[in-house]
Amino acid sequence: MAEAPHLFDEPAAAQPDPVAGLIRDLIQQLGEDPSREGLLRTPGRVADSMRFLLSGYDVDVDEVINGAVFAEPYDEMVVVKDIEVYSLCEHHLLPFYGKAHIAYLPRGHILGLSKIPRVVDVFARRLQVQERLTTQIADALHAALHPHGVAVVIEAAHLCMMMRGVQKQASAAVTSALTGAFQNDEKCRSEFLSLIGRTSFPVR
């Protein structure tokens, strides 16, 4: 039987955060002094921030959707638009942000509306490129609902283009992913575009 800890025993020392240690080294390598007052707690803050921004790796999209798919004989288009998107570009670790517009045509089942933004967050909170993010959202919803089709459009501004590189602050990237009827039926595509206030899909 293990001996109970003595009342006055010192608590075990907390293990150093390896991510914070890497951030501290980075700050130093970039020519700053991580021991100065304003930067003392920065490594820990950045480590916590990165863990939150990349928390999608620890989330299973099936668990997010689980229990929120309902049998329903609704057969008209369901659209959730202007979903805020925040992600990190995998090329420069700089943010890109914007809005996602998502639609699906039910085939006997609907998804709880709050789950659609949650699916977006599962994939947005990973190191990403906008093109992959768009496709992952569409594929996940199609696999969960087996609808007649899914459409996803993301419009986003990329700080890697705005703050560095070409430095074009007014630029935005638009990507789309279509499955089923949205690929094959011009009427479906036109209705979706009208509902989200666009006149065309990105040129492929």
Q: Quote the CA–CA distance of 27 and 49 in Å, as a whole number.
A: 16
Active site residue 15: no
- Residue type for position 200: S
- Residue type for position 128: Q
Which of 170, 189, 169 is CA-nearest to residue 105?
189
Strand segments (E) across the chain: 69-71, 78-89, 95-105, 109-111, 127-128, 149-158, 173-178
Question: CA 101 → CA 83, 154, 196, distances in Å?
Answer: 6, 6, 7
Active site residue 160: yes
Catalytic residue among 101, 142, 148, 158: 158
Active site residue 91: yes
Active site residue 63: no
Active site residue 158: yes
Contact 157, 171 (CB under 8 A): yes
Catalytic residue among 32, 72, 90, 146: 90
Q: Is the dihedral of CA 177, 79, 195, 107 positive or negative?
A: positive
Question: CA 114 → CA 33, 64, 66, 81, 165, distances in Å?
Answer: 44, 10, 12, 12, 37
Catalytic residue among 32, 91, 169, 183: 91
Catalytic residue among 101, 130, 148, 191: 130
* Active site residue ranges: 89-92, 130, 158, 160
